[in-house]
Structure 1
Amino acid sequence: MERAAKKPIGYQKHITYELREKIEAGLKSGLNKAQIAKTIHKDPTTVAKEIRNHRTPSGSPSKAPFDCANYKKCTRGRECRTSHEVFMECTDYTLFKCNQRDRSPGVCNGCTKAPSCRFSKYYYRADVAQRAYEYMLRDSRMGFNLTYSEAQWMADIIKPELEQGKSPYAILNEHPELKISEKCLYNYIEQGAFEQFGINSLALRNQVKRRKMPKVRANQYRKRKDSGYLTGRTFKDFLEYNPLVAAQYSINHSVKLYDGAERPDSEQAIDHPVGYILMDTVYNDVSNGPFIQTFKIMPGGVFLAVYHDEKTAEEMVNGLDYIEKLLGPDVFINNIGSILTDRGSEFSLADEFEDRESGTCRIFYCDAMHSNQKGSLENEHLVLRYICPKKKDLRKLGLVSQEVLNRAVNNINSYSRKLYGGRSLYENTAFMMPEIYEALKCKGYSQIDKDKVELKPSVLKKK
């Protein structure tokens, strides 16, 4: 099989001014587009596009302004020269056509009839084409690819959504009619495309800031001594108890957890539910509270929270009891096989956590200083902080009861997530863990219309 002919150097480069001069000279000589393309080592379609895009009208305006082919035989005295209405009603009008001007080569360069032709003419000129090309090259890299009306239309959609605390991804997921990418929307906002409509970079929920960590002495952090309740309940024990989670953790974090025979078999028979709960506590004032005990039920991902006035180990056990009653003992024990939390003193009553009304549910603890081992829940804390910001009196903001906290939970669970392909936590749980979702739905936890989702402190004061 013969090898295809090698394309000449510069075949895919931009057309230069010298090449444009050769195109103009070729047109004046009467060469067609294929012949010109061969001369300058370009594809004929490239030459055709160059001529079509950069040809310019020339010559004095025609006395008959509408290029009528029947102007010599006109029976109406050429009244169209003075009246547009007459032209629109004329049944004799026929548009003049010229093969050289309209088809090939597409301009009047080299036409012997051009000096006496009374119709509209187009010429290709190298200097004019070069100026147009240079302007387009600069203009395409400047400003925004938006008209004023397009920018205003987009701002009318985006502004109220940003005021509700939504991210650009959530806005685009709920409004596909915007037809731009997430990065493009970030660029428009940060570069000021919508400033005149009241949207600037400060409207974005998160502005990335690089903060230099202070230098600390190595002996400031001391390894905690394992207490008795941690025996058999470490993070490694959690992975051995949940081999499917271990396999996914190994992939996500690119780590080798076990050597040889120690590695648990992810396909082995599991005699307990594969679902598990991530648990933690969020608060602003350690002395006065309130304290929010947070839960994330995996793999569905639904987020739940329990309101407390005190942060004691007994209160945290009561919080898990609340979740068990919320789901129902049967649903809980059929779907939840284990709990993973941190080593905070409020979670030290391991035996009480495991002794459920519906049966036994194992509890495990993350390694010291490794909150990333329950990173999915930590990410939900970031969303919770939009409603319950740090360094604020949460009671003054309106967080005074479980009922108020449930409103915040409903908004968090109804918010579109990029991780789940635009689905909310409720929608993902309905797909992954339908029994859990139905139990929550019966207790008033349900999807909010995504246009009405709000991630602001004002949610706490709404009725």
Structure 2
Amino acid sequence: MATHHIGNFKHLTLSDRAEIEIMIEKGFSFSQMARALSKDSSTISKEIRRHRFLVPHYRDENSRRRSECAHFSSCTRQHLCGRTSCLSLCSKCRSKRCSFYCPDFSPLICPRLLKPPYVCNSCPKLRTCSHDFYFYRAKYAEDSYQEVKSSSRSGINQSPESLEKLDKLISPLLKQGQPLSHIYLTHREEINCSQRTLYNYIDLRCFSAVNLDLPRKVSYKPRKKRRSEPEIPGYRMGRTYLDFEQYIAAHPDCSIVEMDVVEGAGGKSSPVLLTLFFRSCSFMLLFLMDSDCRASVRDVFDFLYASLGPARYSRLFSVILTDNGSSFKDPSVFERNNGHGSHTLIFYCDPMASWQKGRLEKNHEFIRYVLPKGKTFSGLTQAQATLIANHINSTARASLNGCTPFELALLLLDRKLLELCHMAWIPADQVTLKPTLLK
């Protein structure tokens, strides 16, 4: 029995649009695309028809053949050229091109464009077709979407009269020292917009009152805009959590490494810790990075690949599972060939599903014992990060039948990795998981 597909109610991203473009080329149906992207098939249909663009077959309208007119077979027009004595139909005239004169000329639309996928991306007759072309391109669709989103949210959604009425109501009260929240609550029936919008109007100088008339506004620091790195189109293609589960079911003995970043008080732009967690033995590596960016992550994996060698790297990091952080969205950073035709595979958790790598998230608690939330990592060194990792890995776990991750790592991981990362066992009674460890 067919089941109704429920979308995830989120806007399409550039990555989603890149996957749509790839799937059009491969001849996927809208239903298949919808299932792959967790969307409704009508969403896919609207996306393609809304953001397809025209590529004319002819350089201008006057260059078109008369047979390219949609009305060619039924046209009865005469005397378009001004010769009233001519008895011939203009569409049959040999000396004059009716498409040059006719105001009703309408380009003939290819019948393939009237049904899915509504574009010419995968058409086998593309090279010999004489119709106009319509294409879907992810970058063009994303740019069009961003432009519409931006233009729809810009400007002032008020008439001059209603804006003047608001000004006369709000500005005198603000200048009396009343908080905007108080004004909004006591005059809610007279104000036809939200409180947040009123702040925006004041910021845009739409009122005679200005930011200086707001008691606390001028004391706020401007928000820092987070710079996100450009997304690699289609980076999740074949690398979703469902793909991960299917791969693990077929290769149960492969080495799985969960990866994440732990931030300090300064956020992504200040030093952070890259965490690598080996599922087989709950062993964790910590790497101090200058910031949470793609270049810093690449530096770590360049170091591991160069130091371990292709074969050992591929064996230890055969599968990596991580989230959708911007610093992890370039699969080429991790998927490196071992020289024998196979390579490391990276998979991405579903958005907002950190529980899919829950063992690593749980292990982060040990880091917070030593580096509590709200503490900056600016003064931290790699030696200190390694020291924290050694104490965490020397902590016995009930889930490991009383063993420590370090003891199991000696049995299950390559000792070259432990030596490279300066991993060392800490005697049980000397294990310290307090901020005093770094003093």
Q: TM-score normalized by structure 1? A: 0.42
Which structure has the larger Rg over C-alpha atoms?
Answer: 1
TM-score of the aligned structures, taking structure 2 as reference length: 0.44
